[in-house]
Amino acid sequence: MVKFSEMPYRRPSMKDVCREFELLLERFESAPDGAQQKETLYRINDLRKEYQTYASIASVRNSLNTTDAYYEAEQEFFDETEPIFKELNIRLYKALGNSKFKDELRQKFGNQLFKLADVSVKSFDPSIIDDLKEENKLGTEYTKLIASAEVEFQGRKRTLSALAAFAHDPDREVRRQANAATQSFFKEHEKTLDSIFDRLVRLRHGMARKLGYQNFVELGYYRMNRTDYTAADVATFRNEIETHVVPLAAALREKQRQRIGVEKLKIYDLAFYFPSGNPKPKGSPAEIVAKGRQMYAELSPETKEFFEFMVNHELMDLENRKGKAAGGYCTMFEKYKAPFIFANFNGTTGDVDVLTHEAGHAFQCFQSRDYELGEYLFPTLEACEIHSMSMEHLTYPWMKLFFEENADKYIYMHLAGCVLFLPYGVAVDEFQHIIYENPDLTPDERKRVWLAMEQKYRPWVDYDGDEYLERGGLWQRQLHIYRSPFYYIDYCLAQVCAFQMWSRSLRDFQGAWADYLRLCKAGGSDSFLGLVKLARLRSPFERGLLQPLMGEIEEYLNGLEPKLG
């Protein structure tokens, strides 16, 4: 196994990829028995693995330095060729659905492969290839714009990630000015952001119509590989959040207001929890990684092996710097069976959040790396987020390593923050449903929809007279809205599952860990609700789940309050 810096890269020849894929498809379709179809499927998987590995290497190196002209060009290549590659996969999925030996294949690979094949076929037709290329280009345009931000603040030019650290500053005026500086970037580029999104909405609606759907919502769900729940189920879930979570979130905000001693919480106060200052992880990024190494060595033999692998093979890039893309993610280099963690440390609690969150994704990849088909390396995305969010909670006992005497403050802030996230997450989701059900809305009308969502789910938010935010511009900083439509609700569904995992860990940590490990090992071999059941969790769509869960969280947070100082 080579280190990331040593991984060779070459641009695939799409002519060769297409020719070999088509020959293998012909062999699969004309196979005289199930044995030959299985063997051919493995060969197709090897071909796909090669392409996907080079695509992932190019994507990571591009996001590490968005100003690198070579990998910018390589990313453009994959933006262009990904829809062509997708068409080849759709042809494979159609062949699977038409196989005379389907029962034999299902016995070997399980039913989830066929469920995924079915929804993938429903989400694609060759007539939308050019549209998919354009969608990729627009997504990359948004990412590059956000990564290009260099905002003057306190005598230095700073990235948006670096500016976000000032939201934790004990000086309220510094927080206000940092927020104003952040908004100045988005306001300056508002028309461009409006234009990119307007083109994306119209493009996605057009694709949906070409495929025979009324609008993009149904197509969007198929693109997210949702096989066992519908938009109606998600609407029910949002209602449960409004009924059982929003009141607790409002109470937590009121306690925060009283604790930090302000007359009214403003937008720039929301990330500031304690009058003595938010906890900060102790040490440099390298020291934080070293503490993570100790934590995972103590957590379990499996996490020890995993984290040593990540460190020894340079599979993490965590420090924020000029030109680096915003955000954090986990991807995988399939050929090497190696996950990769990308993040932007900025000296706040978010550094530990992102370390444990993305490590949860990467740990799942590492546990399921030996699945024979690429479809099972990752589950569908809402199940993926159970791994990441549960890892955040399951590592609470080790937070003293990072925060020392402020560990209880961190746990309070993190757990309360997870509750406070849910109303925002469902606001993003309902916003997207409304936008794609009404694709002809103007940019200003879309912003008014966002304001209505804020009033419904986060009525405590006060923009303090900021003209751009008061017109409804906040959502434009949310990458998922631009690049991954309908993804955001996955975080909310997974968070409810992660809360259950946390609750169980308080009573039986080893039992909870066994459930978590079993879930990770299953990879993507089952649907979302199938994996939820495998982990002995209740479906987040189940009525009556949230009320007692919120009650337990509130009681736990109340118990922490005397320790906060």
What does pTM read for this prediction? 0.93
Q: What local confidence, expressed as pLDDT, does residue 564 receive? A: 85
For β-strands 151-153 and 156-158, DSSP reports them as antiparallel
Average pLDDT over residues 218-227: 96
Which residues, in sequence order, are bridge partners of residue 157?
Answer: 152
What 3-state class would DSSP assign to 330? strand
Q: Which tokens sit at 85?
A: 């590659």
What mean pLDDT, rounded, does the chain reach? 96
Residue 329 pLDDT greater than 90, yes or no: yes
Say whether 156 sits in a helix, a strand or coil. strand
Mean pLDDT, range 240-267, rounded to an integer = 97
pLDDT digits (tens, 9 = 90+) for 83-137: 999 999 999 999 999 999 999 999 999 999 999 999 999 999 999 999 999 999 9
Q: Which residue has the tokens 């406070």?
A: 420
pLDDT at position 381 is 93
Residue 48: count other Cβ atoms within 10 Å of its Cβ: 20
Q: What is the pLDDT of residues 403-432, one digit of tens each?
A: 999 999 999 999 999 999 999 999 999 999
Enter the tokens of residue 195: 């234009």
Does the pLDDT at position 346 exceed 90? no
pLDDT band at 58 (very low <50, low <70, confident <90, very high): very high
Q: Which burial class, exposed, middle or buried, applies to 60 when counting CB atoms under 10 A from its CB (0-12, 13-18, 19+)?
A: buried
Task: Calculate mean pLDDT across residues 250-269.
Answer: 97
**What pLDDT was estimated at residue 161?**
86
> Residue 393: which pLDDT band, with cuts at 50, 70 and 90?
very high
Report pLDDT digits (tens) over 521-558: 999 999 999 999 999 999 999 999 999 999 999 999 99
Q: Is 18 exposed, middle or buried (0-12, 13-18, 19+ CB in 10 A)?
A: middle
Residues in the chain: 565
The reported pLDDT for the residue numbered 478 is: 95
Residue range 155-202, pLDDT digits in tens: 999 999 889 999 999 999 999 999 999 999 999 999 999 999 999 999
Is residue 327 very low, low, confident or very high in pLDDT (cuts 50, 70, 90)? confident
Looking at residue 1, its pLDDT comes to 86
Taking residues 231-243, report their average pLDDT: 97
User: Which phi-psi region, left, alpha or beta, contains residue 399 (left: φ > 0; alpha: ψ -120 to 50)?
Assistant: alpha
Quick: pLDDT tens for 352-386: 999 999 999 999 999 999 999 999 999 999 999 99
H helical segments located in 211-245: 216-223, 231-244
| Sheet strands side by side (includes 316-319) | 316-319, 338-345, 329-333
pLDDT score of 565: 67
For residues 121 and 128, what is the distance between their CA atoms, to the nearest angstrom?
Answer: 13
Work out the end-to-end distance of the chain between its first and last CA atoms, rounded to an integer number of angstroms.
Answer: 48
Report d(CA 554, CA 565) in Å as an integer.
18
Provide CB contacts within 8 A for 312, sequence distance 6+: 3
Of 304, 302, 284, 286, the closest CA to residue 294 belongs to: 304
Average pLDDT over residues 440-466: 97
Task: Name residues whose C-beta falls within 8 Å of residue 398's C-beta, 6 or more positions apart in sequence.
Answer: 294, 295, 298, 299
Place of tokens 């993507």: 524
> What are the angstrom distances between the C-alpha of 134 and each of 139, 199, 204, 284, 538?
9, 9, 10, 41, 40
Sequence-ordered alpha helix ranges (H) in 189-230: 190-210, 216-223
List Cα–Cα distances, 387 to 118, 354, 360, in angstroms: 25, 13, 5
